[in-house]
Each structure stands twice: as structure tokens, then as C-alpha cells.
Amino acid sequence: MTATTHPATTTPSLRRRALGVAVTVLTCVVLWIVGAVAGVDYTVENPGQPAFVVNLVPVVIFSLGSALVGWAGLALLERFAGRRAGVIWITLAVLIALVSLVPVFATEATTGAKVMLGAMHLAVAAVLIAFLPKRSR
């Protein structure tokens, strides 16, 4: 009897990445719900604009959109940057997550809203970094 070995696949699982997108959205929804149950007032005000209540619809739209853009960016990097794509993408994801916190803390909102919205921003990056890049074997 002969044993056959199958080469390790070099392409990341589409299923794993889709799961990462779903977990990203779910994590943000759960964080929003935890804040709402805790009594967080998600009303934000920006200079020159009317007050806006961040409800679940924008949370889902923006977390889903961010996850899909992150996935697309990683796919492009994998195509054009080769083996360094994962490192480049993770570095960019961390930088973008940190920069995305600036408007959260620059807007007029309660401390609870700022903390929960900031946590959602960081959760998007953390979940995507955990799920999207290729895994070494």
C-alpha cells in the first residue's frame, strides 16, 4: 500500500474569509447591543451637522463594508505583493484602525458612546486580522 501526500494548499479558504466577514459584523452588533443594554446613548454630533443616532443599521453597513474592503485589499496585495502581502496588509489594517479612532473621539458624544464605537472600530480590525490572512502551517 502506498501513501499519497497532498501538497498543502496555498490559497486561503474562501469559507474562512467569509466567516471572518460574518464574525466581524456579528461582533460589532453584539458590542452595540451590550452598549444599548448598558444604557449607552449613541447620539453623535459633528460640527455643522444635525445630531445622528448610531443604530444597528449603520453598524451593520459600515462593519460589513469595512470587512469587504479589507478582504478586497488583501486579495489585491496577495496578487501583486506575493509572500509579503500578509505582513503589509496587517500593518495597514492596524494603521487604518488607529486612524479610524480619530473621528470617534473628535465627535461630540457621551463617553459610553465613544468607548463602544471605538471598541467596534478596533473589533473590526482584530477579527479581520485573525481571519483573513493566510495561515502558516
Please write the tens of the pLDDT for every residue from 94-113.
999 999 999 998 999 999 99
Tens digit of each residue's pLDDT (9 = 90 or more) over 13-58 = 899 999 999 999 999 999 999 999 999 999 999 888 999 999 999 9
What average pLDDT score do residues 54-79 get? Answer: 97
Rounded CA-CA distance 100/105 in Å is: 10
**pTM listed for this prediction:** 0.86
Cβ-proximal residues to 103 (8 Å cutoff; 6+ apart), any chain: none
Query: What are the C-alpha distances in Å from 112 to residues 5, 31, 52, 106, 128?
Result: 54, 12, 15, 14, 24
Confidence of residue 114 (pLDDT cuts 50, 70, 90): very high
